[in-house]
């Protein structure tokens, strides 16, 4: 989500410095949002799809190895269970029980011995949709003030204010998830990055505005 917030805030700040026409700024930001959402969604889809194919290959290889050498696989699984705290006798009973269901023995050995499992297979379509929607949701934070406020500079300040609140909240929430003592520092870090990106974008917009024949 923060990608959409940061990217759109930077685009709006830059365009506000370079373009005088409010409608052009909004349309350009909307186009940037659509392009960004598609880029993030497709990127997530391709990344997850590639990881899924690699993991499937590893699972197939591990499964064949286990079926080809079941006794070696059982011994390796027993060793892993001992490492996790089971006595050798208890581990042996577990392995013996798993051996009565070959499929379960394979999946358990893949997870415990090889460190891979079917649960690790992601859903490329779902990941792509979630990433694209999250980007759009984030982009709406700084974009909404520009849609509803047509007053020059007021729209930019409102957008930056909304961006600041959103990113500080994301940073604070990240600190809460990480159980940090000073969660406000995480919020300020996100806030500083956002304001820095917006300031740079605005300055670049001011520098290039003479090239377009309009001032911000």
Please indicate, yes or no, whether residues 63 and 165 belong to a single structural domain of this protein. Answer: no
* Contact partners, residue 53, CB within 8 Å, separation at least 6: none
Least Cα distance to 25 among 177, 209, 210, 200 occurs for 209
- Asked whether residue 215 is domain-assigned, the answer is no
Please indicate, yes or no, whether residues 106 and 84 belong to a single structural domain of this protein. Answer: yes
The number of domains in the chain is 2
* Contact partners, residue 84, CB within 8 Å, separation at least 6: none
45/11 Cα distance (integer angstroms): 25
Please indicate, yes or no, whether residues 24 and 130 belong to a single structural domain of this protein. Answer: yes
Please indicate, yes or no, whether residues 43 and 127 belong to a single structural domain of this protein. Answer: yes
Is the Cβ–Cβ distance between 203 and 180 less than 8 Å? no
- Asked whether residue 146 is domain-assigned, the answer is yes
Please indicate, yes or no, whether residues 84 and 59 belong to a single structural domain of this protein. Answer: yes
Please indicate, yes or no, whether residues 132 and 191 belong to a single structural domain of this protein. Answer: yes
* Per-residue pLDDT tens digits for 126-175: 999 999 999 999 899 888 888 888 777 788 888 888 888 887 887 777 77
pLDDT at 216: 41
Please indicate, yes or no, whether residues 74 and 43 belong to a single structural domain of this protein. Answer: no
- Asked whether residue 175 is domain-assigned, the answer is yes
173/122 Cα distance (integer angstroms): 25
Please indicate, yes or no, whether residues 140 and 109 belong to a single structural domain of this protein. Answer: no
- Asked whether residue 155 is domain-assigned, the answer is yes
Is the Cβ–Cβ distance between 32 and 7 less than 8 Å? yes
Least Cα distance to 47 among 117, 129, 110, 128 occurs for 128
Question: CB count, 10 Å around CB of 172?
Answer: 19
Please indicate, yes or no, whether residues 33 and 43 belong to a single structural domain of this protein. Answer: yes
- Asked whether residue 78 is domain-assigned, the answer is yes
Please indicate, yes or no, whether residues 95 and 37 belong to a single structural domain of this protein. Answer: no
Percent of the chain with pLDDT over 90: 13
* Per-residue pLDDT tens digits for 20-66: 788 888 888 899 899 999 999 999 999 999 988 888 888 888 888 88
Please indicate, yes or no, whether residues 139 and 158 belong to a single structural domain of this protein. Answer: yes
Dihedral-angle region of residue 115 (phi above 0 means left; psi in -120 to 50 means alpha; beta otherwise): left
Domain end marker among 120, 138, 159: 120
State the virtual CA torsion across 198, 203, 207, 208 in degrees, nearest 10. Answer: 10
Domain end marker among 120, 152, 168: 120
- Asked whether residue 214 is domain-assigned, the answer is no
Q: Is the pLDDT of residue 100 over 80?
A: yes
- pTM over 0.85? The answer is no
Supply the range of the domain harboring residue 54. 50-120
Q: Is the pLDDT of residue 93 over 80?
A: yes
Least Cα distance to 190 among 206, 166, 210 occurs for 166
Domain end marker among 74, 103, 120: 120
The pair of structure tokens assigned to 47 is: 């990344």
- Asked whether residue 163 is domain-assigned, the answer is yes
- Asked whether residue 152 is domain-assigned, the answer is yes
110/66 Cα distance (integer angstroms): 8
Please indicate, yes or no, whether residues 71 and 85 belong to a single structural domain of this protein. Answer: yes
* Per-residue pLDDT tens digits for 179-211: 777 777 777 887 787 777 767 767 776 676 665
pLDDT at 215: 41
């Amino acid at each position: 989500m923060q990608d959409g917030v940061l990217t759109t805030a930077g685009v709006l700040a830059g365009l506000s410095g370079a373009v005088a026409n409010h409608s052009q700024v909004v349309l350009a930001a909307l186009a940037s949002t659509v392009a960004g959402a598609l880029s993030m969604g497709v990127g997530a889809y391709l990344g997850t799809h590639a990881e899924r194919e690699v993991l499937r290959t590893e699972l197939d290889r591990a499964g064949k190895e286990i079926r080809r050498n079941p006794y070696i696989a059982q011994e390796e699984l027993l060793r892993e269970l001992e490492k996790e705290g089971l006595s050798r006798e208890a581990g042996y009973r577990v392995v013996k029980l798993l051996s009565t269901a070959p499929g379960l023995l394979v999946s358990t050995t893949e997870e415990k011995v090889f460190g891979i499992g079917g649960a690790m297979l992601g859903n490329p379509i779902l990941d792509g949709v979630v990433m694209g929607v999250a980007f759009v949701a984030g982009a709406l934070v700084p974009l909404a003030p520009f849609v509803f406020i047509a007053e020059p500079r007021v729209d930019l300040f409102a957008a930056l204010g909304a961006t600041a609140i959103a990113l500080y909240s994301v940073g604070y929430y990240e600190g809460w998830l990480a159980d940090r003592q000073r969660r406000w520092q995480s919020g300020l870090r996100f806030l500083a990055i956002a304001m820095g990106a917006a300031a740079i974008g605005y300055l670049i917009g001011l520098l290039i505005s003479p090239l377009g024949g309009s001032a911000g």
